Structure 1
Amino acid sequence: MIIVKIGGNILDSPERLQAFLADFAQLPGPKLLVHGGGKIASAFGQRLGIEPKMVEGRRITDAETLELVTMVYGGLVNKQVVARLQALYCNAIGLTGADANIIPAHKRPVRTIDYGFAGDVAGPDSINVAALETIIEAGLTPVFAPLTHDTQGSMLNTNADTIASVLATALAPKYKVQLVYCFEKKGVLQDSENDASVIPHINASKYKTLKAEGVVHAGMVPKLDNAFAAMQQGVAQVLICEAEALTSINTGHYSGTTLSMN
């Protein structure tokens, strides 16, 4: 089972997205795609007079913004991706966490910042694996928007990296799961200004060192935190790479950064 998360910068480029989806459609065996779409939501919101509210890179999801991201993530972006995959003979089905109660979550509690209708997933045990397996075993490829629900009738805006990680850990007892984070960089970089400085392999102890030294920082920290948490809970392998490197999975000669516990 290959679970791929695709970042927003790829979604912003029709050409890169099309090339990525063509590669994704060719991956053998069962697969699952999780997408973001934050920049598209911000741009669409500005057309509607809804200015994005961000704190430390995270979106504040008030009631108006929740309507926006539900429309953009669950509608516009999700269905465009599904339609493109259908054109590539990949029988995809677009989903949110509310569909078939696959990803229930809870509204993030207010501590120092009120993130509004932001959703936190309790963990892999909360995932409706039976429903997800029914979809996969029917030969369909799930495409998840970064939305969950609170089981009380409200949608919740949820980090796509987290959704990919939790789905991977939930499916790990049934499948040998490979989790792939695709984005605009070639992998985890030693020098964020040098695209050629890819670190080919990072284990748990090296990650602690890189984080302490500030080599890994900002948005890469939650991505890697999620990745190592997934491996601690049974995910076989995590790969972080640029979208164009997805086909390297078929060859076994990975382009990007592979992560392992040891």
Structure 2
Amino acid sequence: METLKIVKIGGNIIDDSKALDAFLEQFSRMESPKLLVHGGGKLASQLAQKMEVEVKMVQGRRITDAETLDIITMVYGGKINKNIVAKLQSLSCNAIGFTGADGNTIVSVKRPVKDIDYGFVGDVETVNTEILELLMGQDIAPIFCAITHDSQGSLLNTNADTIASELAIGFAEKYNVELYYCFEKNGVLRDVNDDDSVIETITEPIYQNLLSEGIIADGMLPKLNNCFHAINKNVTKVCIGKPNMLTQATTKFTTITK
């Protein structure tokens, strides 16, 4: 089986132009097939403030009303996505920008209202890989932003970590899929104030112990849930760390295993 590398970059890399340029140079040197998923960074919130649209957050998650969805679409699917594609072209890496609506690649359902109404937020239901396989077969890298659709004409704001894991699972039948979550830390840390305290391997039992000890919390919880979801659905390899883990075998990072 051919190996497919799926890389997700967080908003912290998007917000730092030097870090983004350095990452895209690394990504451009990776062998095909490859696919990139990117978050949104702070730009959507900054634009919302300029447009006097209230930014609503509950437990660290954005409430996406109609006005916010318009801003997210402009920023994620427009400015950020197309700037990444343009920079990759300058590095001789042919790329095409995607939302889940393009080519009907990712279909989601609007998140049901339970305790909180998140608005136009999507939970992924299906992934269609055929068009993406054709593009990657021509050495073209798909570049996904954090937007999907519901097949009823509506776009949906969707967690980028989830998009990356669902794409990885969708390709797992035909490829050896390696999934990399890149952010500003060396990996999952035992001490958040010590960047050298990387937990290099996390299994399900280790994860449960880390949870009970309170070492893993907040934003790392959904990220690790996506990691285990992927590894339990036949994704070959899942790693978390700084972007240089993609090219430097000796770099510290976290590997998720069964």
TM-score normalised over the length of structure 2: 0.96
Q: Tell me the distance in 2 between the aligned counterparts of 1:21 and 1:79.
A: 13
* Match 1:45 to one of 27, 43, 48: 48
The C-alpha deviation readout for 1:121-165, integer Å capped at 9, x for no partner, is: 02xxx2112122122112210000000001111100000000000
Residue range with higher mean Cα deviation, 44-53 or 231-240: 44-53
Does 1:257 pair with 2:254?
yes
The residue identity in structure 1 corresponding to 2:215 is V
The C-alpha deviation readout for 1:39-79, integer Å capped at 9, x for no partner, is: 11111211111221100010000000000000000000000
Q: Report the secondary structure of 1:3's partner residue.
A: strand
TM-align CA RMSD? 1.0
Q: Tell me the distance in 2 between the aligned counterparts of 1:237 and 1:255.
A: 16
Contact 2:198 2:252 (C-alpha < 8 Å) held by counterparts: no
**Residue of structure 1 equivalent to 2:192:** 192
The C-alpha deviation readout for 1:190-227, integer Å capped at 9, x for no partner, is: 01111111111111111111112111111001101100
**Residue of structure 1 equivalent to 2:155:** 155
Aligned residues: 255
Q: Report the secondary structure of 1:173's partner residue.
A: coil
Q: Tell me the distance in 2 between the aligned counterparts of 1:100 and 1:255.
A: 37
Q: Tell me the distance in 1 between the aligned counterparts of 2:16 and 2:53.
A: 23
**Residue of structure 2 equivalent to 1:175:** 175
Q: Tell me the distance in 2 between the aligned counterparts of 1:163 and 1:92.
A: 18
Q: Report the secondary structure of 1:221's partner residue.
A: helix
- Structure 1: 5+ residue stretches without partners: none
Q: Report the secondary structure of 1:218's partner residue.
A: coil
The residue identity in structure 2 corresponding to 1:184 is E
How far off is 1:254 after superposition?
A: 5.0
Q: Report the secondary structure of 2:176's partner residue.
A: coil
Matches within 5 A, 1:209-224: 209-224=209-224
Q: Tell me the distance in 2 between the aligned counterparts of 1:38 and 1:115.
A: 19
Q: Tell me the distance in 1 between the aligned counterparts of 2:181 and 2:224.
A: 10
Contact 1:185 1:242 (C-alpha < 8 Å) held by counterparts: yes
Q: Tell me the distance in 1 between the aligned counterparts of 2:120 and 2:41.
A: 15
Does 1:6 pair with 2:3?
no
**Residue of structure 2 equivalent to 1:106:** 109
How far off is 1:9 after superposition?
A: 0.5
Q: Report the secondary structure of 2:106's partner residue.
A: coil
Residue range with higher mean Cα deviation, 18-27 or 42-51: 42-51
The residue identity in structure 2 corresponding to 1:182 is C
Q: Tell me the distance in 2 between the aligned counterparts of 1:135 and 1:150.
A: 23
Q: Report the secondary structure of 1:177's partner residue.
A: strand
Q: Tell me the distance in 2 between the aligned counterparts of 1:28 and 1:174.
A: 17
Q: Report the secondary structure of 2:107's partner residue.
A: coil
Matches within 5 A, 1:1-262: 1-122=4-125, 126-248=126-248, 251=249, 253=250, 255-261=252-258
Q: Tell me the distance in 2 between the aligned counterparts of 1:254 and 1:245.
A: 6
Percent identity of equivalent pairs = 54
Q: Tell me the distance in 2 between the aligned counterparts of 1:129 and 1:83.
A: 23
Q: Tell me the distance in 1 between the aligned counterparts of 2:151 and 2:32.
A: 32
Q: Tell me the distance in 2 between the aligned counterparts of 1:28 and 1:231.
A: 22
Contact 2:12 2:184 (C-alpha < 8 Å) held by counterparts: yes
Contact 1:10 1:243 (C-alpha < 8 Å) held by counterparts: no
